[in-house]
Amino acid sequence: MESMLNKLKSTVTKVTADVTSAVMGNPVTREFDVGRHIASGGNGLAWKIYHGIKKSTKQEVAVFVFDKKVIEKYHKFEKDQIVDSLKRGVQQLTRLRHPRLLTVQHPLEESRDCLAFCTEPVFASLANVLGSWDNLPSPVPSSIQEHKLYDVETKYGLFQVSEGLAFLHSSVKMVHANICPENIILNKSGAWKIMGFDFCIPSVNPSEQELKFTCKEWDPNLPPWCLPNPQYLAPEYILAVNCETASDMYSLGVLIHAVFNKGKAIFEVNRHDIYKSFSRQLDQLSRLSSSVFLNIPEEVREHLKLLLNVTPAVRPDADQMSKIPFFDDVGANTLQYFDTLFQRDNLQKSQFFKGLPKVLPKLPKRVVVQRILPSLTSEFVNPDMVPFVLPNVLLIAEECTKEEYIKLILPELGPVFKQQEPIQILLIFLKKMDLLLTKTPSDEIKNDVLPMVYRALEAPSIQIQELCLNIIPTFANLIDYPSMKNSLIPRIKNACLQTSSLAVRVNSLVCLGKILEYLDKWFVLDEIVPILQQIPSREPAVLMGILGIYKCILTHKKLGITKEQLAGKVLPHLIPLSIDNNLNLSQFTSFMAVIKDMLSKLEAEHKTKLEQLHLMQEQQKSLDINNEMNMAGETQANNAYNQLEQIDKAFKNIGPETPCSGTDSKDTSKQQRKVSLTLEEKQKLAKEQEQAQKFKSQQPLKPKSVTPIVAAKQTKDLTNMLMDNNMASLQGNIRAPPSSGLLPAPSFGSTQGISSPVDNMSTYRNGTNGFNTNMPFPGPGLGMVVSNSNQNLSSGYNLTGPAKLNMMAPSNIPNFNTLNVSTGLSQLSHQHKAPADMSSLDNIFGFQKPKVSINQMSQQKPNQWLPQQSLPSQASQDLSGPSPGTQAITAGQTGFGIQGNPFFSPQNFAHQTTNTTNSSSASNDLKDIFG
């Protein structure tokens, strides 16, 4: 990439240096900026042609430059001859003015290094186009390499040369004497122009009817630039040293042959032996073969033979040649008419422009763009001709690319967009609006095209407004949304509401209906619908237009009317219109059909909304019930905890004067009054309880036993040791004394034991203490007796003596050896049962009402709650401290055992003793019980 840039840079630098050196110091550079090298022309292609710009007017020109360095090899005399020949040709060209001659815009200027003059813009010479590329830039421009002459260009070009020769021969009385491709220049528009008057011969008797011309004898020793091109010279010029106007016509014949044979002349001429060559040529001309005219069109073959005739008098003159049928072509005539357009009046021009659209499609695009378009746009300065010229310009624009349109046509259309008179200009632009919006850049559309449309909507002419409203929907998709929303729709609204023409109002409604699809829903509802309700007239066409817009809004998938709009604005507007007296039966039917569709949509949408609201309300109620149930569950849990505290307080305050059953009943009734559930909540609660029962009936998960790591010195388990040492005494027979001061003697039947207190005790344990009732009991039964001497409550399998009691414990009595208080409390907190009736326990333990904790018991003297007994020394040692992992229980914690005996409490069963006093009285107490 870098190498390419460097190469391009070096090429540009070299070209710039060549141009600078070529024209350095020449006075032409004072007024003109010399650009790139584009072509070559003149005798021997001696002139380099550059692109130039006039500094004062920025007008485009062609700068012809002859560099004197190319003739440095010649002697001074030869150099002077060459320079004089070139200067003579340019000076003669400058004095002549004709459309078929190259126009000189700045005369010849000479400097030490070059000759230079300026002409009209030039494309190339005919020799360059036909393949002679001498003195061209390297590489040869692609525009020249790829240039192809169309038939119409060839015909009209030869016609132009013929007209130029006719001007020289008849008007100027001059023979050109060097008609060849090097001296035929194609200007920027493609017109063929004659130059190269270096060897022209004026008549010596211009005033006489028979002209006489004198020519110089051919001098082979002169440089080529000082001699004409011998291949295009007539034989008499060389052989008879004679020339006349017919000599130029011979040159024209050779030129025609060369044009149709890629620049190749009929004969090859040897410059060094020119007389012999022309003698041979003279013989060949008398018997030309058909192969010479093989590529020549048939329409011009016979005329070409006449032009190449040996006898000058037989050759047709220039005026006759310009009138041959070969040049009578539609395209050639069209181009010829444009060249003479300035001579025509407006009526002739208008007639010609009306028929031009039929001819333009038959012409090549390059010819139309180069030759016809500039002539058409030049007529824009004449307002009366614009309506006739504009359709042709827009027709050419359709065939152009967007780049060509922007470069060649749009700059010329700018002033025309602003013209309001004649009114046909607006009509023509409106009909071609899709073309303008497609190829015109967005900035020019906003600045030029759309303002023209707005002016048409506001024009006083009703016909213009109607046409504009009819055309707008055809290009609405090309208008940007902001312009349509802010500029176009408001003007259509004004045209609809303020006009007095029924046609304009109806067309406005039709236009709105067609462009609805390019608008958004809310703009239609906010802007278009109110317009319909403001229309004052009630003609059937207007009413049907209103109905059509409503129907389009209702049924269009992109738009749609909300149910609020339907109920509040649309239906109250449409229903009165439907019964207007101006409507006929079919129109009324159309109204009712749309109204029914609207009502159906209104019903469907609102019904759907209400159903959704109802469903949301039901879901909300369900959520509220769940919240209430959650709150009820929390309340029940709090109540369970409160019940647990009440049980603890009941056992602490138990006595004959305050029975537990009454307190519990009162609290339960109060709790029931606090919580009032609905039927659905109760049903759901019952289902949850049933589910909980199912979960409880399942087998409990058995944790995996893990062998604990025994410390080096571990305190022995007091309960296990006592149970092992006294198992025999617990299973033995214990005799009760005849009388006991602890319990009153109950009365039993013949077959009834003291089962009520024990049953109450088991019921209390299983139902109200919160322990797991499924835990196994270590023994099958329990025997209890009251001792008279020691007042001890012992357990065993058999009772003997007068007061023998046989009490079987239920199988579901918990194993207190593995139970702890924390488990019981956690289960009790999830129970929803009311506190059990404790009245049966009052009969057994009514004489004792201890209200102290274990800590307080340990601080009291043994004789305050049990008779003193002695314990084994090992048991005394085990009471010296709690077992490993035990947890202290404060006086505020809840727990219960057999009333009056703290060793049957869950705290002792779980080895959770606190602040146990290692005293001799405690040891004696244990000895009294288990001794």
Checking 825-828 for CB contacts under 8 A at 24+ apart, the result is: 825/644, 825/770, 825/894, 825/895, 827/770, 827/771, 827/772, 828/640, 828/644, 828/769, 828/770
Can you state the angle between helices 660-674 and 585-652, rounded to 10 degrees?
A: 160
Average pLDDT over residues 367-394: 90
Better-predicted residue by pLDDT, 635 or 570: 570
What is the predicted pLDDT for the residue at 791?
A: 40
Report the pLDDT value the prediction gives residue 930, as an integer from 0 to 100: 46
Residue 725 makes CB contacts below 8 A (sequence gap 6+) with: 872, 874, 875, 930
Q: Is the dihedral of CA 523, 529, 535, 540 positive or negative?
A: positive
CA-closest candidate to residue 752, choices 805, 799, 800, 797: 805
SS3 107: strand
Other CB atoms within 10 A of residue 544 CB: 18
What is the phi/psi pair of residue 202, to 5°? -75, 160
Between residues 397 and 525, the one the model is more confident about: 397
Contact 559, 553 (CB under 8 A): yes
Pairing of β 793-796 and β 201-202: unpaired
> CA-CA distance, 472 to 317, in Å (whole number)?
59
Residues 6+ apart with CB under 8 A from 620: none
Residue 712 pLDDT: 47
Burial (CB count within 10 angstroms: exposed 0-12, middle 13-18, buried 19+), residue 669 = exposed
Q: What is the DSSP string of 732-765?
A: S-EEPPS--SSS------SS--SHHHHHHHHHHH
Q: Hey, what amino acid is at 703? A: P
Per DSSP, 119 falls in state E
The continuous run of DSSP H or E covering 61 comes out as strand 60-67
Distance CA(676)–CA(353), nearest Å, equals 101
Q: By the 8 A CB rule, do 769 and 835 touch?
A: no
What pLDDT shows up at residue 200? 94
Mean pLDDT of 688-717: 62
pLDDT, averaged across the chain: 73
Cα 148 from Cα 152, distance rounded (Å): 12
Whether 668 shows a pLDDT value over 70: the answer reads no
309-332: average pLDDT = 90
User: Is residue 496 within 8 Å of residue 531, measured between CB atoms?
Assistant: yes
Structure tokens that stand for 646 in this block: 């009440």
**330 CA to centre of own chain:** 53
**pLDDT tens for residues 17-56?**
455 556 777 888 989 999 999 999 999 899 999 999 999 9
- Contact between 907 and 895 under an 8 Å Cβ cutoff? The reply is yes
Of 55-59, 544-548, 705-709, 894-898, the one with minimum mean pLDDT is: 894-898
Give the angle 398-404-406 at the CA atoms, nearest 5°.
Answer: 95
Tokens 């012999």 correspond to 276
Asked which of 58-67, 101-110, 367-376, 447-456 is least confident by mean pLDDT, the reply is 447-456
Tens digit of each residue's pLDDT (9 = 90 or more) over 504-546: 888 888 888 888 888 878 888 888 888 888 888 888 888 888 8
Q: Provide the residue type at 95 as one letter.
A: R
Residue 33 has what pLDDT? 92
Please give the pLDDT value at position 883.
Answer: 42
Nearest Cα to Cα of residue 405 among 415, 397, 413: 397
Contact yes or no for 559/524 (Cβ under 8 A):
yes
What pLDDT score does 905 carry? 41
